[in-house]
Structure 1
Amino acid sequence: MKPQKLYRIVADIEAVTWALLILGMLFKYAFDVTEVGVKIAGPVHGLAFITFVVVTALVWTNNRWSVGRGLLGLLSAVIPFCTIPFERSAARNGDLDGGWRQDNPLLATLTGRPKMTFGVLAGIIIVIFVVMMFIGGPFS
């Protein structure tokens, strides 16, 4: 899967989980109905957020983004629904063009073994997620 397609999928998922979390927060805080939505959507969004950050760092390195572009990509995950316009803007500007680079030994190893890479990145994301769950959510 090329960087552009991977980035679009992860950006869209991150935005959808924002919507689910906000909906859950409405049910909990505005309507005082239930907190089930927050208990489910919170961790799901947290996992999507961490995944977006990891994929942003990977694409930032691969596509040689400027520091400003990379930091803007990371910041887009903090503001609800901003990952989608950021990804679309990056695609329009050509910042997601091309495949995975082979001139970087680390990237070449990662892209040359996609199943291993998926496992390693999934493991890293899960470890970060578990640590964050242990520490607690941002409002706990």
Structure 2
Amino acid sequence: MSLPSPRHLFRAAAAAEMVTWAGLLGAMALKYGGATDAAMPLAGGVHGFVFLCYAAVTVAVWIDGRWPTGRGLTGLASAVVPFMTIPFERAQARRGEPADRWRVLDRTPTGHTPAEPTAAERLLARVLRRPAASATAALAVVVVVFLLLLAAGPPTEWGR
């Protein structure tokens, strides 16, 4: 399994999040416009799944790029506002981020002593060194979280 660069992975996740927002908003327009609510379960489910995947990718590039906390949280929050993942991704691209290579996997001498890797960076490196097994495990975690959220029902019914 070939490992995509952080930049390509983040760009794809941001685009997927935007597309699923469009699908969800379209399904909501059909439902609340009185046409049909048949599209809501599929659109909501797909959007929720992609939202969780975007969050996982954002955390990975946040750790790899050593983003400041505010930037990482802004990246996560951009998924909550319809279509904001693309402007956020483009703003990061203008900064040259995420990188074209996974920094946590870079073993190239740089001529200076690198900072000691954090526990999160060591975990991310371990995950990236075994992409097939890690992708399977990550997918399993996302599916479990997705199923738990699905069982909990719509967020509007959580306090009832």
Q: TM-score under structure 2 normalisation?
A: 0.83
Choose the corresponding residue for 1:12, options 7, 12, 15. 15
- After superposing on structure 2, the runs of 4+ consecutive aligned residues of structure 1 that deviate more than 6 Å are none
Q: Which runs of 5+ in 2 are unaligned?
A: 106-116
Larger of the two Rg values belongs to structure: 2
What displacement does 1:116 show?
0.9
Q: Does 1:59 align with 2:67?
A: no
Q: Which amino acid is the alignment partner of residue 56 of structure 2?
A: V
Per-residue deviation, residues 63-91 of structure 1 (Å, max 9, x unmatched): 10000100100110000000011011111
What amino acid sits opposite 2:52 in the alignment? I
User: Matches of 1:63 and 1:43 in 2, distance apart?
Assistant: 30
Q: Assess if the C-alpha contact under 8 Å between 1:65 and 1:95 holds in 2.
A: no
Q: For 1:76 and 1:108, how far apart are their aligned partners in 2?
A: 25
Give aligned pairs, total: 139
Q: Counterparts in 2 of 1:1-140, with a 5 A limit? A: 1-30=4-33, 32-100=34-102, 101-102=104-105, 104-140=121-157
AA matched with 2:135 = F
**What code does the residue aligned with 2:22 have?**
A
Once structures 1 and 2 are overlaid, which stretch shifts more, 85-94 or 72-81? 85-94
1-structure distance, mates of 2:24, 2:59: 24
Q: Which amino acid aligns with 1:19?
A: A
